[in-house]
Amino acid sequence: ETGVTQTPRHLVMGMTNKKSLKCEQHLGHNAMYWYKQSAKKPLELMFVYSLEERVENNSVPSRFSPECPNSSHLFLHLHTLQPEDSALYLCASSQNRGTDTQYFGPGTRLTVL
């Protein structure tokens, strides 16, 4: 148990659906991250939030929309996804943005039909 939870753990959606992934951290951290892990590829950083402000968007398509309403919660809103978006989506948090150790959630396994 890393102190970072994600829901749902598994999600199957059609290309026209809208869904949201949720991440919650119970560590009092100030920075939160979304990562994508596709089969046979390295983890890719998607978004970074520091003190609820988005500080990095790593060229992610607009069909992925992050939201950070407070320092403990992070959402990833999904709409009109493509089958190639099927992947494991991981949330992480760290004390501060920078080289602090990042703590990962268990991930959401997303399948887009």
Shorter beta-carbon distance to other proteins: residue 36 or 81: 36
- Least distance CB 18 / other proteins (angstroms): 23
For the CB of residue 76, give the shortest distance to other proteins in the complex, in Å: 15
Q: Are strands 10-13 and 108-112 parallel, antiparallel or unpaired?
A: parallel
Q: How far is the CB of 16 from other proteins (least distance, A)?
A: 26
Beta-carbon contacts of 63 under 8 Å, excluding residues fewer than 6 positions away, are 78, 79, 80, 81, 82, 85
Residues 6+ apart with CB under 8 A from 78: 13, 17, 18, 19, 20, 21, 63, 64, 65, 85, 110
CB 64 to other proteins: min, Å: 17
Half-sphere exposure of 105 (CA within 13 A, CB side): 31
- The residues of the shown chain that bind other proteins, judged by CB under 8 A, are 2, 31, 33, 37, 40-45, 48, 50, 55-56, 58, 88, 90, 92, 94, 97-99, 101-107, 109
The residue among 25 and 94 lying less far from other proteins, judged by its C-beta, is 94
Cβ closest to other proteins, residue 66 vs residue 107:
107
Q: Which is nearer to other proteins, 79 or 109 (CB)?
A: 109
